Amino acid sequence: MATFILSRLEMVWFLVAGVLLVLNGVRAVDRSNFKTCDQSSFCKRMRTMGLDQSPYRAILETLELSDSRLTLQLINDNNKVRLLLELYRLQGNMTRLKINELKPLRSRFEVPDVLVGEPPTKPLSMVSRDEAGVVLSLGTDAHQLVLNARPFRLDIVEGARVLLSVNGRGLLAFEHLRPRKDTLSKISSTVGSMWDSIKNMFSSNTQKDSEGEETTEGAQEEGEEREEEEPGMWEETFKSHVDSKPNGPSSISLDFSLPGVEHVYGIPEHAENLRLKTTDKGDPYRLYNLDVFQYELYNPMALYGAVPVLLSHNAQRTMGIFWLNAAETWVDISANTAGKTLSGKVLDHAQVPSDAPQTDVRWFSESGIIDVFIMLGPKPSDVFTQYASLTGTQSFPPLSTLGYHQCRWNYNDQEDVRAVDAGFDEHDIPYDFIWLDIEHTDGKRYFTWDAANFPQPRDMLRGLQDKRRKMVAIVDPHIKVDSGYRIHNEIRSRNLYVKDKDGGNYEGWCWPGTAGYPDFTDPEMRAWWASMFAYDKYEGSMENLYTWNDMNEPSVFNGPEVTMHKDAIHGTWEHRDVHNLYGLYVQMATAEGLIQRSGGVERPFVLTRAFFAGSQRYGAVWTGDNAAEWGHLKISIPMCLSLGLVGISFCGADVGGFFKNPGPELLVRWYQTGAYQPFFRAHAHLDTPRREPWLFGPQNTALIRDAVRQRYALLPYWYQLFYHAHRTGEPVMRPLWVEYPQDVATFTIDDQFLLGRHLLVHPVTEQGSQGVSVYLPGVGEVWYDAHTFRRHDGDQNLFVPVTLSSIPVFQRGGSIIPRKVRIRRSSTCMENDPYTLYVALSPQGTADGEIYIDDGHTFNYDRQKQFIHRRLTFANSSLSSSNLSADSQFTTASWIERVLILGGQEPSAVTLRTADGSRSLEFEFDAATSVLTIHKPGVNAGSDWTVLLQ
């Protein structure tokens, strides 16, 4: 879905509304619609802050240490405002750092609903204390936290090594809440006082800050210094939009130094390389969920979602910083040398070579508090576990959602849906979901159907169900203001809309014209929304209808930066405080609705465009409105890799590109790439010509069919990877460095990736490519071409010649991957099909892998432990299957059809041993490829068995 590509009808709407849009001929993002750091007053204030010594000092006398919590006051020596620092040592090698005002004028927003619970703590103990500061133990002798009092700084050390410093550059900043200068009653002159109260009555509307005037003291202690006011503190204007900022300045900032670190990752969503760049020469990376029309590549501009998590990595250690703040946030990254920022008490404990590289990271947010989780790794998988323990893991999707999704804005009517569905059968291409975009509704009233084009939605859904296929229909969060629309009337009568600054229902323009925005931050709103997905409430819905939440940044066509005004009100909070959470709440409520409608039995599937930390718990995300360009195909890899690193594994990009028309080569390459990315959906803009897979000639149809079939064959592996992501938080699609953390050559690779540990994929993303250079990692390892089974040594750059049909994929020597090679028309049709095991031997002649099976769609795997999870091991010329989960139970009809041993030798006999006895198996050995094919072991996939090679 696009922001500003409107149908003709909507154009008329807009012209009527007098909103001037210059749209035609727009080729790329209109940067002027979005703020630069200079145009965002707090960003500008924060960024121009000098690099002087920090004004903050720890008042050690206030230190209190309970079993698991340390509190300490900090004071800003310039304005005497006191802050309260809280430090926690958390389970799993993490440290939490919270800083708030000691006595804020009003309470400041703390992000709810993102953490899965109050993180469990571990005891903190004091190692030493003097007037310069304190040293705390983080469990082991080696791990210590050094707190320097003047200026305030924290260093986390391991032995003599500094892992991370907080406020090392003195950029801690906290704009304390203060009364408006004109609302104080302290002015002695009666006249002045009266005048002031008169002004006060109109202050929210009429007051402008005036430069150079001084604010008087706030609610802080006596003796506070007077501070300069700066532009934009009490009101700011962007384009024609005024932000009334009734609470004045409230931003916060903190810096982190990472000695020895040259590579940092994460903080999606940006159209950017995997490895983040330094931002000294331009704007910081911005985190502010926005509906960006035709976004630009390799750009720090904010996009649809925000996950304020940054990972640092070097050959020794991987760490993470989770900045839990939902307001507009910017992140500056700069390269430094370690010696420059090391000072104070930490020097007694640790040394860093003064010329060691260092990465400095600075976060600043417009409001809220500082609440940071420092995840200390040390391995990449530890960081994933640590972050997962805070915000949860990827929801375990229904198996079918890992199949192929066919989407378009729009499939016009039921007949269109039927014809496209039939097209897949005619061309023998599997698919699981067909999607309906906004045009399926009655005038963009979500939860309804266009009466002329979709008169019998249940008939349509039943037709799909007969083919064991499913549908996704869009439900956006903007609600048409129309007294004839039930959803609107109920939300209004329940008073659950977001309010504008004056207390009325906030209204903005979106697809339906004037729209209200439900306050999804309100649990009552979410509960009501969830109840709307009940089969009797959502007319025409059925169990095979799932949901897509678009435009949930939220997108407001006539709002500042195409989103909601920051002074809109959510209960007691401003939109400013909660902005980046809105999309998460929409998806949360929708997913809850899909669970509830099935009585808590069925797993939901909800796709969202906007997201935040924790969104992984509710479904899938996609990279928004991309374009049919080679650059967009290429960037889909780092964009999804970055999301995977911060917990959101179920990621994909619109196959084919949303805007513009892909040529057949680009389309084919995109299918080939998408087939190996987690969320595999083709999508197209309303104005583009049709591009169903069979519309580009038989040759291209065959290429696309082959790519989709490769996806379906690997579904057992995909499902197993998602099971793991769900259990551990490990990403499904991984950068190479995650599995080869000591191989520096992998640290910047983002044109290839790993699926789990076992598959390496290097999609062809260049036009007219004759070949790709694939980096095969691992000294002493081997890799097998997944198509030809040719063996290649690890630790090399391999040139792989390609044709249009090539998808360079390699299976790691030492791995076993289960596939289902009987490709059917949907994943559900393949449920009971047998497995073929691909055993790729390591140079040592060993391999291992897993097989995971459950019913594919309910929560029974969790609640009733109904699943099969087995380990497959090849060693000493024998392959065996053993139970990994003794207390789970599930029966499957699937069996082992075939075993391929790659890199094998010709045996004289092959014997199958089961509980029932032994029998010999037929086999074939292809000497040219060293592939041993064992025929039909025929054993049930859930049973114990061994295959012996003699």
Shortest approach of another protein to residue 713 CB, angstroms?
Answer: 10
According to DSSP, residue 499 is labeled B
Name residues whose C-beta falls within 8 Å of residue 431's C-beta, 6 or more positions apart in sequence: 403, 404, 405, 406, 424, 469, 708, 825, 826
Asked if 414 interacts with another protein (CB under 8 A), we say no
Is residue 427 close enough to count as binding another protein by CB under 8 A?
Answer: no
Residues with a known catalytic role: 550, 625
Range in contact with another protein (rule: CB under 8 A) among 121-129, 233-241, 578-586, 828-836: 828-836
DSSP structure class, residue 157: E
- Among the residue ranges 134-142, 345-353, 740-748, 824-832, the one whose residues contact another protein (CB under 8 A): 824-832
Q: Let me know if 337 is exposed, middle or buried by CB neighbors in 10 A (0-12, 13-18, 19+).
A: middle
Tell me which of 60, 821, 875, 921 binds another protein, using CB under 8 A: 821
Q: CB under 8 A: which stretch of 5-13, 31-39, 734-742, 761-769 binds another protein?
A: 5-13
**Contact positions with another protein (CB under 8 A) in 671-710:** 686-690
Nearer to another protein, 265 or 404 (CB): 404
> Contact between 944 and another protein (CB under 8 A)?
no
Considering the complex, state which of residue 781 and residue 833 has its C-beta at the smaller distance from another protein. 833
Three-class secondary structure assignment of 376-403? CCCCHHHHHHHHHHHHCCCCCCCHHHHC
Smallest distance, another protein to C-beta of residue 486, A? 24
Q: How far apart are CA 183 and CA 58, in angstroms?
A: 32
Contacts with 548 (C-beta within 8 Å, 6 or more apart), sequence order: 435, 472, 473, 474, 475, 606, 607
Token pair of 398 as six digits = 């229904």
Is residue 825 within the footprint of another protein (CB under 8 A)?
yes
The CA-atom distances, in angstroms, between 358 and each of 46, 164, 226, 311, 517 are 22, 10, 37, 14, 44
Instruction: Tell me if 650 sits within 8 A of 679, measured CB to CB.
Output: yes
Quick one: which segment of 95-103, 257-265, 552-560, 931-939 binds another protein (CB under 8 A)?
931-939
The answer to the question of residue 865 lying near another protein (CB under 8 A) is no
Contact call for residues 613 and 115 (beta carbons, < 8 A): no
- Map residues 13-32 to x or -, x wherever contact with another protein holds by CB under 8 A: ----------xx--------
824 binds another protein (CB under 8 A): yes
Beta carbon nearer to another protein, 833 or 848: 833
Distance CA 515, CA 478 (A): 6
Any contact of residue 819 with another protein (CB under 8 A)? no
Q: Say whether residue 428 binds another protein (CB under 8 A).
A: yes
Contact 497, 491 (CB under 8 A): yes
| Among the listed residues 230, 416, 500, 665, the single contact to another protein using CB under 8 A | 416
What is the closest distance, in whole angstroms, from the C-beta atom of residue 440 to another protein in the complex? 15
In whole angstroms, the minimum distance from the beta carbon of 936 to another protein comes to 5
The size of the interface with another protein (CB under 8 A), counted in residues, is: 35
Binding segment for another protein among 201-209, 248-256, 259-267, 934-942 (CB under 8 A)?
934-942
539, two tokens: 């007319």
42: Cβ contacts below 8 Å, ≥ 6 apart:
175, 232, 249, 251, 328, 364, 366
- How far apart are alpha carbons 407 and 655 in whole angstroms? 10
- What count of Cα atoms within 13 Å lies in the side-chain half-sphere of residue 553? 32
**Strand bridging mode 125-130 / 133-138:** antiparallel
Comparison of 10 and 507: residue with beta carbon closer to another protein: 10
403 or 644, CB closer to another protein? 403
Q: Which of these ranges, 59-67, 278-286, 296-304, 829-837, lies near another protein under the rule CB under 8 A?
A: 829-837
884 binds another protein (CB under 8 A): no
Cβ contact 904:936 at 8 Å: no
**Contact between 802 and another protein per CB under 8 A:** no
Say which amino acid occupies 530.
A
Q: Does 897 bind another protein (CB under 8 A)?
A: yes
507 and 573 Cβ atoms separated by less than 8 Å:
no
**In terms of CB distance, is 256 or 658 closer to another protein?**
658
Structure tokens at 564: 């909601």
User: Binding to another protein by residue 936, rule CB under 8 A?
Assistant: yes
Closest CB 25 distance from another protein, rounded Å: 8
> Helix (H, G, I), strand (E, B), or coil: what is residue 151?
coil
Based on the shown chain and the rule CB under 8 A, indicate whether residue 11 belongs to the binding site for another protein.
yes
Binding of another protein by 822 (CB under 8 A): yes
Nearest distance from C-beta of residue 825 to another protein, angstroms: 7
What is the per-residue binding string for another protein in 372-411, x denoting contact by CB under 8 A?
----------------------------------------
Does 452 bind another protein (CB under 8 A)? Our answer is yes
The kind and range of the H/E element at 738 are helix 736-739
Torsion (CA) 320, 325, 330, 331 in degrees, nearest 10: -10
Between 416 and 793, whose beta carbon lies closer to another protein? 416
Binder to another protein among 129, 468, 492, 790 (CB under 8 A)? 468
Cite the beta strand spans of 274-353 per DSSP E. Answer: 285-287, 309-313, 318-323, 329-337
Among 940, 941, 945, 949, binds another protein (CB under 8 A): 940
Least spacing, CB of residue 678 vs another protein, in Å = 25
Stretch that binds another protein, among 141-149, 308-316, 319-327, 895-903 (CB under 8 A): 895-903
- In angstroms, the Cα distances linking 339 to 336, 342, 347 are 9, 5, 11
> Which DSSP string corresponds to 51-85?
-S--SEEEEEEEEEE-SSEEEEEEEETTT--EEEE
In whole angstroms, what is the distance from residue 82 CA to residue 76 CA? 6
- Least distance (Å) between residue 112 CB and another protein: 42
Q: Is residue 913 part of the contact set for another protein (CB under 8 A)?
A: no
| 128 phi, psi to nearest 5 deg | -155, 165
921 binds another protein (CB under 8 A): no
The piece of 88-96, 570-578, 776-784, 936-944 that touches another protein (CB under 8 A) is 936-944
The nearest distance, CB 910 to another protein, in angstroms, is 15
Query: Does position 418 bind another protein by CB under 8 A?
Result: no
Which two three-digit tokens encode residue 862? 């969790």
Stretch that binds another protein, among 30-38, 278-286, 728-736, 891-899 (CB under 8 A): 891-899
Q: Is 428 or 500 the residue whose CB approaches another protein more closely?
A: 428
Asked if residue 823 binds another protein (CB under 8 A), the reply is yes
Helix (H, G, I), strand (E, B) or coil at 719: helix
Q: Does 466 bind another protein (CB under 8 A)?
A: yes
Min dist CB 107 to another protein, Å, is 48
Residue number with CB closer to another protein (77 or 416)? 416
Which residues, in sequence order, are CB contacts of 382 under 8 Å at separation 6+? 92, 93, 318, 375, 376
Of 452 and 927, nearer to another protein (C-beta) is 452
* Cis ω for the linkage preceding 269 (within 30 of 0): yes
For position 188 contacting another protein by CB under 8 A, the verdict is: no
> What minimum distance in Å lies between the beta carbon of 438 and another protein?
14
How far, in Å, are 127, 156, 331, 587 from residue 165 at the CA level?
18, 6, 16, 36
Q: Is 467 an interacting residue with respect to another protein (CB under 8 A)?
A: yes
d(CA 298, CA 285): 11
**Residue ranges that bind another protein, judged by CB under 8 A:** 5, 8, 11, 23-24, 412, 416, 428, 452, 466-468, 686-690, 821-825, 828-833, 895, 897-898, 935-936, 938, 940
